[in-house]
Amino acid sequence: MDPVIATGLVNIGSNILQKILPPNTPSVEDSKSSSFESNLKDIQGSSLSAKSLETLRAEIKDSPELQDFLSRNSGNKISLDKLSDGSVRVLSSTGDFMTLRPESSTCANANQFLDNSISSGQNLNPDRENSVMLIG
């Protein structure tokens, strides 16, 4: 069959089907994506309002897990970096660091502080990408 004729027949068939069938209604995928977007906005809004950044900062700085590290690095800039395993590295401007394990409550607060700071554009470390300043 000639390709030009075949294309014409396909177009005619498509036009007939479009006139016979009812207009397009939103598909299930469209409703899923809109509900996903609204759920995402709800989650982002609730995570930002759950604890303020200053409350999280105070809880992290006051945690017994960090007291020794912070006393050794008094007067230095302290930043937080998220690691791929869910732990958080606490890094001093002197190069000293410690790692908060994912199962600790201090690590959970540090992760929330990191996520909220990055999403709101606050406390960002100008010297390190995806790092936030805890002190300094």
pLDDT in tens, 29-45: 555 556 777 766 666 55
pLDDT tens digits, residue range 42-70? 665 554 445 788 999 999 999 999 999 99
Q: Residues near 104 by Cβ (< 8 Å), separated by ≥ 6?
A: 65
Listed by start position, the domains of the chain span 51-135
Share of the chain above pLDDT 90, in %: 54
State how far the Cα of 70 lies from the Cα of 124, in Å rounded to an integer. Answer: 19
> Taking all residues of the chain, what is their mean pLDDT, rounded to a whole number?
83
> Quick one: which of 41, 75, 43, 62 has its CA closest to 110?
62
pTM: 0.61
Percent of the chain with pLDDT over 70: 82
Distance CA 108, CA 32 (A): 30
Cα separation, 85 vs 67, in Å, equals 23
Residue 106 to residue 89: CA distance in whole angstroms: 12
